[in-house]
Each structure stands twice: as C-alpha cells, then as structure tokens.
Structure 1
Amino acid sequence: MLSQLNVEDILFIDIETAPQQPDFGELPEVFQQLWDKKSTYFRTDDQTAGDVYERAGIYAEFGKIICISAGVVTQKQGERFYRVKSFFDDNEKKLLSQFNDMLNKFMSHPERRICAHNGQEFDYPYIARRTLINGLPLPKSLDIAGMKPWEVKDRLIDTLQLWKFGDYKNYTSLNLLCAVFNIPTPKDDIDGSQVASVYYNDGEIDRIIRYCEKDTLAVTNLLLRYKGEEIIPMENMEVV
C-alpha cells in the first residue's frame, strides 16, 4: 500500500478540541449529570466530575473543535513544499461548514485520500459527530456507515494504524514516532493537554493554530519516512 500512495494526492489533517465550557460549573445541569456519570470510568475516588472536566474535550459529546489544520504536499522545481491552511472560529458550526466544503472539493477526485495520526479513533469520528451535532450534512468522505473496513482504510489513512502492522494492543504517539524517525517535533511550544487552558485562560488561539499546523507537517513527514523518502523541512511549510 505504501509504495502506491502518492503523497501529493493526500490531505493531511489535525484537529484541536476543548471542553464545551471553560468550567464544569457553566455546563447545563443535564450535562453536569451526564459528565459525572461518564467520568466515573476514569476518575479516582477522591476526584469529582469537575476535577477532571479538562478531559471533556476528547469526547465529541462534551467537547468542541476549535481548530482544524489541513495541508498538502507540492513541488517547485523538484523540491517539496508543504502548504497548510487552518480553519478556526469560536463558532464551531461556521468552522466545520468551511472545512467540510473544502474537504468535499478536495475529495471529489477519486484518487485522493485523507491522512491523520490516530485519525480512525479520533479526528475522523470527532469531525463527523460534531458535524451532525451542529446540524450540518456529513462530508461524503466521512459518510462511511455500511462501508467495509478495507474501503474505509483505503480512503481514510491513519499513520498510527499503519505503524501497528496488525498489532492492536498499544498506542504509539506521534511525538514518539517523530523521535524514532528523527522528525522535528511539533511539541516545541504546547502539547494537547494544554490546548484547553491556552484557549480559555490565555485566549491565545494563534499558538494553538501554529501547534496544529506543525502537527500536520509531522504526520506528513511520518508518512514520508514510512515510504523511505526525505522529509519536508519546517522552513518549507507555507501557511495560506
């Protein structure tokens, strides 16, 4: 499969998410009760639902998307470059509408694919779920109900799944794989655990956008390493 992939036909994406509200106490009562029940599975006996509310962002039912970055590989005079565009807005419906329109246009060519790290477990279903919650039509490429598993994997590439080689017992982070393959890490400012705080407490969406964009380049370079090809240096990343 790897040898047949043309990286210039792939849209590399990453999403950043946050809890629906900056504080547990600002949730409607019904969602406070639902989060209390949900969080019993991972909080300790001495923790309350509010103590672990920062984790709500990883669940599409309790979180929201605050940024999606998407990039493609291009060539200029034989040298590879990476062009990336970010979609961000406090209005999640507007953000998703813009991204999904772009995604439908990009994927209108049958040879094109989408790629993310842990995309099958996180990015792809999260985008689809939040799209439906916001009352928007699903992008055609994420409308996968009834499709065979191999049909989904052919359309939605996941660098984590590629690394597993059929081993489903463990998770390997993008940061670890970047280190293994000597790829410059995108974790040079913030990491995923800090996104909600930077968004709500610091109000620095630009830092989150840059972090998200670097993540997509890291995923691109990881796939290039899988293919035995040279990575794209950070200075060849063009933000549009």
Structure 2
Amino acid sequence: MLKRISLEHILFLDIETVPLHANFNDLDDTGKLLWESKTQYQRKDEFTPEEFYDRAGIWAEFGKIVCISVGYFKITGDTRNFRVTSFHGAEDTILKEFKNLLEIHFNRPHHLLCAHNGKEFDFPYIARRMVILGIDLPPKLNLFGKKPWEVPHLDTLELWKFGDYKTFTSLKLMTHVLGIPSPKDDIDGSQVRDVFYKENDIDRIVIYCEKDTIAVAQVFLRLRNEDLLNEDEILSV
C-alpha cells in the first residue's frame, strides 16, 4: 500500500520546541499555577514545578517552536534527490512561512505530511501554536469534520506499530534496527532548551532538526523496502 504513494507527494518534517520562557519565574502567577496543575501527575513528588519547567517545551500551551525542518523528493527519470530546508526565527514567522509552503506547494488532495510520532506531537503542536498566535490553520492541519481516512498525515511510528498500540519506538531506535545511519550525533531533544536559551546556537538546532527530517524519510524508504538515500542525493536548499 505504501508503494502506491508517490514520494513526491509527501512533505517530511520535524519540529524542535523549547519552553515558552527561559525560566519558570518568567511565568506570571496564573501561568505558574496552571503549569503546576498541568504537570502534577508527571512530576509526582520527585520534582517541584520549577525544577520540572525545563520540560515545558513538550506542551504547546507552555512551549514554542524554534525550528521546523522539511524535506521532499524530486525524481527525474533515474535521478532522485531529497531537498531539505528549515524555518527558524520568531515563532510567528516560522509558522507563517510553513503555512505558506503548505498552501502553495502542498495544497492538493493527494499531498501528505509525514513525521515520526507526528500524529501525537508534531502536527497537533503546530496547529495549537498557530491557533494561539492567531494564524488561520492551513487545510492540511485543519482536521475538523474529516473522516480518519481523509486525514492527510502519515506517521512512521504508527506505520511501525502494525496495529500494536502498546508500544513507543523512538526514531533513534528505528534507525538503528533498520540499519540507517543515526541522526543523533550531536545533541538530543533534552538538550535543545539549553542550546537555545544558554548557548543561543540556533544553527546547531537547525542541523539537528534537519537530520531528523532526513531520518524520517529514510525510515519511510525502508518501510517501502527501497534503497536508502546516499549523501549525494541529499540537498540543503
């Protein structure tokens, strides 16, 4: 079934997120109380709300997007390329540029979005942040009224489950078992907050995000039992 989908009709993506503020004390009093309530079951008695705030980027209500990387295939005859680009800067600019890409270049019914754990994280996170910032949702993210088979989203984690809903498999584990070069050769998700707020190194985050986007595409190729991309086929644009 996967092989019936044209690779050129898929936009692969990954996002990187951080807490909305650098420090817990930057929240107003209401925000602090809401954060404490939101995380009480995850924290239990092990962490105070302040100690737990470094994980705030996981929740769209308390975090923000600092990078969206996308990749897409261009196939001409026997030549295959995978082109990668990234949006970073102010969050509203990131989201508007990403929306513009969807509405101009990936606006047809057959176009699909693909991410790892995208249905649980990337897609709803982007949509929630757009709503919070007053940005109209593009059709590819506005799922209201759509039947399950009409949702234009692919998720490599969901595909790997093969109907098993009891397990979570990280992108790093999938690349390992499928023989794909690991994208995690610098930082991991737990370090993005410090790289952003303490090191102010957005370029490092962009590189990390793009490697994950490439890894998602590689996993999708393996799920189709097709040859992996080699370095010469990957272009940064």
| 1:222 and 2:219 are equivalent in the alignment | yes
Q: Which residue of 2 aligns with 1:163?
A: 160
- AA matched with 2:4: Q
Q: Which residue of 1 aligns with 2:38?
A: 38
Q: Any gaps of 5 or more consecutive residues in structure 2?
A: none
Mapping of 1:163-182 within 5 angstroms? 163-182=160-179
| 1:7 and 2:10 are equivalent in the alignment | no
TM-score w.r.t. the length of structure 1 is 0.95
2:43 counterpart SS class: coil
Q: Which residue of 1 aligns with 2:204?
A: 207
1:9-36 deviation per Cα after TM superposition (whole angstroms, max 9, x unaligned): 1100100000000110111111111101
Comparing 66-75 and 131-140, the one that deviates more: 66-75
Question: Aligned partners of 2:161 and 2:86: how far apart in 1?
Answer: 29
Q: Which residue of 1 aligns with 2:123?
A: 124
> Displacement of 1:44 after TM fit?
3.6
1:211 counterpart SS class: helix
Question: Aligned partners of 2:46 and 2:112: how far apart in 1?
Answer: 45
> Displacement of 1:75 after TM fit?
3.2
> Displacement of 1:182 after TM fit?
0.6
Q: 1:38 to 1:232 in 2, by over 3 A?
A: same
Aligned residues: 237
Q: Which residue of 2 aligns with 1:141?
A: 140
1:8 counterpart SS class: helix
> Displacement of 1:176 after TM fit?
0.4
Let me know the Cα RMSD of the aligned residues. Answer: 1.2
Q: Any gaps of 5 or more consecutive residues in structure 1?
A: none
CA contact (8 A) 1:106 1:112 kept: no
Question: Aligned partners of 1:112 and 1:46: how far apart in 2?
Answer: 45
Q: Which residue of 1 aligns with 2:189?
A: 192
Question: Aligned partners of 1:111 and 1:150: how far apart in 2?
Answer: 12
> Displacement of 1:189 after TM fit?
0.4
1:65-120 deviation per Cα after TM superposition (whole angstroms, max 9, x unaligned): 0000011112356232211110001x211111111111111222222111100000
Question: Aligned partners of 1:186 and 1:121: how far apart in 2?
Answer: 21
Q: Which residue of 2 aligns with 1:103?
A: 102
1:37 counterpart SS class: helix
Q: Which residue of 1 aligns with 2:72?
A: 72
CA contact (8 A) 1:178 1:185 kept: yes
Question: Aligned partners of 1:177 and 1:196: how far apart in 2?
Answer: 24
> Displacement of 1:150 after TM fit?
2.0
> Displacement of 1:2 after TM fit?
0.8
- AA matched with 2:102: L
1:23-60 deviation per Cα after TM superposition (whole angstroms, max 9, x unaligned): 10111111111101112111141421010101110100
Question: Aligned partners of 1:183 and 1:231: how far apart in 2?
Answer: 8
1:119 counterpart SS class: coil
Question: Aligned partners of 1:138 and 1:38: how far apart in 2?
Answer: 25
Question: Aligned partners of 1:235 and 1:218: how far apart in 2?
Answer: 15
Q: Which residue of 2 aligns with 1:84?
A: 84
CA contact (8 A) 2:20 2:64 kept: yes
